A and B are shown apart, each in its own frame.
Chain A
Amino acid sequence: MALLQIGDPISMPTPIGIDLGTTHSLVAWVTPTGGAVAIQNCDSEVLVPSVVHYREDGGVVVGTGAMAQALDHPEATIASAKRLMGRGADDPETKRLGSYRYASDEGPVVKFDVGGGKVVTPIEVSAEILRELKNRAIDDLGDVGAAVITVPAYFDDAQRQATKDAAKLAGLDVLRLLNEPTAAALAYGLASKENGVFAVYDLGGGTFDITILVLDDGVFQVKSTGGDSQLGGDDLDRALAGVFLEDLAYADGSEVPSNIARALLSGARRVKHALSDVEVVDAEIELPDGRKVERRITRADFDALVAPIIKRTGVACRRALRDAGLSKDDIDGVILVGGATRTPIVRSYVAEVFGKEALASIDPDQVVALGAAQQADLLGGESRRDDVLLLDVLPLSLGLETMGGVAEKILPRNTAIPVAAAQVFTTYADDQTGFDLHVVQGERELVEDCRSLARFTLKGIPPMAAGLARLEVRFEVNADGMLSVSAQEQRTGIHQEVEVKPSYGLTDDQIEAMLLDAYEHGGDDVAKRMLREQQVDAARVLSSIEGALGADAALLEEGEEARIREAMKRLSDAAAESTDHRVIASRIEELDELSTPFAGRRMDRSILDALRGRAIGAIEDETKDAKGVETHLAEEAEKYAQERQDS
């Protein structure tokens, strides 16, 4: 068949899964036989420490090599940048991280001053790590395609956006930002194929996530998720380092030099790891200034020290259960993720909270990346598995500021995504011509306690009496969990839309500039890459439509097939001959437009099939009618919301 042949010369680049972690990162892919494997470097190491060192000569070192520089060049070596993704310079978390020199220039994004006049944002630091992982994958696989990158489920919109920006800077196309616990569940679920309700307890270096999900014949449905984006294994190290610090006689409140702090932290980490296997450790930490800390730490000491930190995770676990409408007896299995779950006190606490021993049969350091690779294969791979689907939820409530600085929730947390919701507001002053909208994320009642995502103003409303205007604000969250907001004044039809760009993100101009910079240095041939992408896209679209025509010829209208075939021919010619990616893109669009009505009829048919498959003996009319009720319910709910707003 001539049409399909154009797909053949283009081998699909391999999609990859990346776990971009606070302490370490790794990349994995799915082999042609369907198993996920992590990619090693030449020293057989899988984990890349998430540390970036900026050399004086302008060079950049990532991973183990960067870590080696941390003691001698603490300010030029950035670790745990993930904790600052999407955060402002005035954020408490920024101050807590402590040992860096921050650049004090204008702008809301945190910047590290790494010496030699160079200033970098956490996004750029993360981009260096992603670039390193991408290069590793290229060394191993040759051609690397788009990536699924994991983020803590509890990441807010700003943090997700920052992660996407980092990928863009690293020249990676993002197939999906996937929540880490969901990725882990995917890895376990695909390995065991057991149905049931699972809790994923993920204590990473810097974040804690808990996710409750149901696995039902290949569908992974997240019921609820929660956690704390500022709680992790690092906090255990910090608590222990605090004990060592007592021996060093620094006056309360006096600044501890950053190289001393680093030495204590890494010493604390070694002691913590050792205590996972033995009961007593005689710690000896040599400090850069020649001093030495010696102290005996028993596991009981350590457990008592960190118990309050571990206990904080229990609150989130109970709440996630409640949000899922389940109790701990409903949980069939608990999955452990993250290096910190190797700590014995964490394991015993998890067993206590859920009333059962946890599973850790897949390496907790790798399981997230392996799951991400599986999802990348599902979304971007050639080998299509049709039986697996992830249904995720919104991790944090989204709302708008209303009178008195109160946050009004428009979409509550743990709503299944993609989703949309609308709320109607009105003017509070006569002749008000603009509405200020402030989009916030979080569970707290007051706006000042929530995360500010964006502000915008709907302008140009004709003057009218207070309470007359009807402003409908619509929130839409896509399958990535990212928000866009639109507003419309219903009497006048004035409409405005914003892609929510968080206040702490980079502007498009900044990204553009950084990208150009990267191309100049990296020599990446943009035009070639874009042509290649369009060719791959064309092949996909053609094979998809070809398949549809074959399967559902009955749904075609008179003459429709001939029109679609003509457009397919035009596209396949362009894909084979044109060197201009724009020509291929426009033919894809043309074909797409022409075939959309047919696609719509196929989708409606699938819906009926899905409903009929379940409602035994239900006749078509009934299902149609029921669907009407559902739409009606949604409409009425919206009406109700309006009335509430009016009163």
Chain B
Amino acid sequence: MGLPARYGIDLKELEVRYRELSRVLHPDKHAHKPAGERRISLGKAVEVNEAYRILKDDLARATALLALDGHVVAEGEGAPSDPMFLMEVMELREELSEARSAKDLDRVGALGEKVTAMRRATTAQMATAFDGPEPGGAGREHAELKALVGRLRYYRRFMDEVDVIEEEALG
């Protein structure tokens, strides 16, 4: 998408580029064209959408960048061992399951917002760890990055659960 291969990308710029590329590639722009041209445009639009999906997702972007460095983070790898963090997550989970049994959706929502804020803090740390060293990624502390990925996964799962609870409430 014409963006540098770093973690701290300008999401606004990504949005703009996504829209600019879609302006020329989206199949609707080729609705009247011959079939071959429509196929090409569809294939390219699919590629752009795939890249856009990965780049705008804090977790997918991190794992993709790590993979670029030759470090594939397997499921369970980088699981946080910091007792403070684990304690905090445990407490949050307890609160969530209490809110769930009490069917207190407002509280579930508030917990969701709290975890979203924590997640933002982690992605900020991630950006420093990825992009702080020299450009191009030399000297990155991959162990640290994997630990951050582990944290993000925790938050992601927590938010998934919030989602499921809200989904159930919607019936």
Chain A residues within 8 Å of B, Cβ to Cβ: 175, 214, 216, 219, 221, 228, 230-231, 312, 315-316, 318-319, 322, 325, 378-380, 384, 389-391, 415-421, 443-445, 476, 478-479, 540-541, 544-545, 588-589, 591-593, 595-596, 599-600, 603, 606-607, 609-611, 613-615, 618, 622-623, 626-627, 629-634, 636-637, 639-640, 643-644, 647
Contacting residues, chain B, for A634 (C-beta < 8 A)? 47, 50-51, 54, 64
The contact of B34 among A228, A544, A627, by CB within 8 Å, is A544
Q: Would A418 and B45 be within 8 Å (CB), given that A315-B105, A637-B54, A644-B74 are in contact?
A: yes
Contacting residues, chain A, for B67 (C-beta < 8 A)? 636-637, 639-640
In whole Å, how far is B99's beta carbon from the nearest beta carbon of chain A?
13
In whole Å, how far is B122's beta carbon from the nearest beta carbon of chain A?
15
In the complex, the answer to whether A540 meets B167 with C-beta atoms within 8 Å is no
Question: Which of B12-20, B88-96, B140-148 is found at the contact surface with chain A?
Answer: B12-20
In the complex, the answer to whether B32 meets A540 with C-beta atoms within 8 Å is yes
In the complex, the answer to whether A607 meets B25 with C-beta atoms within 8 Å is yes
In whole Å, how far is B19's beta carbon from the nearest beta carbon of chain A?
5
Contacting residues, chain B, for A643 (C-beta < 8 A)? 72, 74
The contact of A591 among B1, B22, B34, B49, by CB within 8 Å, is B34
Contacting residues, chain A, for B151 (C-beta < 8 A)? none
Contacting residues, chain B, for A421 (C-beta < 8 A)? 50
In the complex, whether B163 has a CB less than 8 A from a CB of chain A is: yes
In the complex, the answer to whether B29 meets A611 with C-beta atoms within 8 Å is no
Nearest 7 A/B pairs, CB to CB: A596-B36, A636-B67, A599-B37, A606-B24, A592-B34, A611-B2, A419-B49
Cβ-closest chain A residue relative to B34: A592
Q: Would A640 and B63 be within 8 Å (CB), given that A420-B46, A634-B50 are in contact?
A: yes
In the complex, the answer to whether B19 meets A545 with C-beta atoms within 8 Å is no
Provide a sorted-by-A list of 8 A–B residue pairs whose CB atoms are within 8 angstroms. A216-B16, A416-B52, A445-B164, A479-B27, A545-B34, A614-B13, A614-B16, A637-B54
**Total of A-B residue pairs, C-beta within 8 Å:** 192
- Please report the C-alpha to C-alpha distance between residue A647 and residue B55 in the assembled complex, in whole angstroms: 24
Cβ-closest chain A residue relative to B21: A610
The contact of B170 among A216, A221, A312, A603, by CB within 8 Å, is A312
In the complex, the answer to whether A221 meets B19 with C-beta atoms within 8 Å is yes
Cβ-closest chain A residue relative to B163: A443
Interface residues as binary, B141-171 with A (CB distance below 8 Å gives 1, 0 otherwise): 0000000000000000000000110111111
Contacting residues, chain B, for A603 (C-beta < 8 A)? 24-25, 37, 40-41, 44
In the complex, whether B104 has a CB less than 8 A from a CB of chain A is: no
Contacting residues, chain A, for B15 (C-beta < 8 A)? 214, 221
Chain B residues within 8 Å of A, Cβ to Cβ: 1-5, 11, 13, 15-29, 31-37, 39-42, 44-47, 49-55, 60, 63-65, 67-68, 72-76, 105, 109, 112, 116, 163-164, 166-171
In the complex, the answer to whether A419 meets B28 with C-beta atoms within 8 Å is no
The contact of A614 among B17, B42, B63, by CB within 8 Å, is B17
- Please report the C-alpha to C-alpha distance between residue A390 and residue B25 in the assembled complex, in whole angstroms: 12
A315-B105, A596-B40 given; name 10 further pairs at CB < 8 Å: A175-B31, A228-B171, A389-B22, A419-B49, A589-B35, A599-B40, A614-B2, A630-B3, A633-B54, A647-B74
Contacting residues, chain A, for B17 (C-beta < 8 A)? 610-611, 614
In the complex, the answer to whether A607 meets B35 with C-beta atoms within 8 Å is no
Contacting residues, chain B, for A312 (C-beta < 8 A)? 169-170
Contacting residues, chain A, for B169 (C-beta < 8 A)? 312, 315
In the complex, the answer to whether A615 meets B2 with C-beta atoms within 8 Å is yes
In whole Å, how far is A318's beta carbon from the nearest beta carbon of chain B?
6
In whole Å, how far is B162's beta carbon from the nearest beta carbon of chain A?
9
The contact of B21 among A418, A443, A607, by CB within 8 Å, is A607
In whole Å, how far is B24's beta carbon from the nearest beta carbon of chain A?
4
- Please report the C-alpha to C-alpha distance between residue A389 and residue B45 in the assembled complex, in whole angstroms: 13
Cβ-closest chain B residue relative to A416: B49
Contacting residues, chain A, for B116 (C-beta < 8 A)? 322
Contacting residues, chain B, for A445 (C-beta < 8 A)? 164
In the complex, the answer to whether A228 meets B170 with C-beta atoms within 8 Å is yes
In the complex, the answer to whether A637 meets B34 with C-beta atoms within 8 Å is no
In the complex, the answer to whether B34 meets A595 with C-beta atoms within 8 Å is yes
Cβ-closest chain A residue relative to B19: A219
In the complex, the answer to whether A391 meets B68 with C-beta atoms within 8 Å is no
- Please report the C-alpha to C-alpha distance between residue A603 and residue B25 in the assembled complex, in whole angstroms: 8
In whole Å, how far is B39's beta carbon from the nearest beta carbon of chain A?
8
Contacting residues, chain A, for B16 (C-beta < 8 A)? 216, 614
In the complex, the answer to whether A640 meets B73 with C-beta atoms within 8 Å is yes
In the complex, the answer to whether B49 meets A418 with C-beta atoms within 8 Å is yes
In whole Å, how far is B23's beta carbon from the nearest beta carbon of chain A?
6
In whole Å, how far is A616's beta carbon from the nearest beta carbon of chain B?
11
In whole Å, how far is B69's beta carbon from the nearest beta carbon of chain A?
10
In the complex, the answer to whether B23 meets A610 with C-beta atoms within 8 Å is yes
Contacting residues, chain A, for B53 (C-beta < 8 A)? 415-416, 419
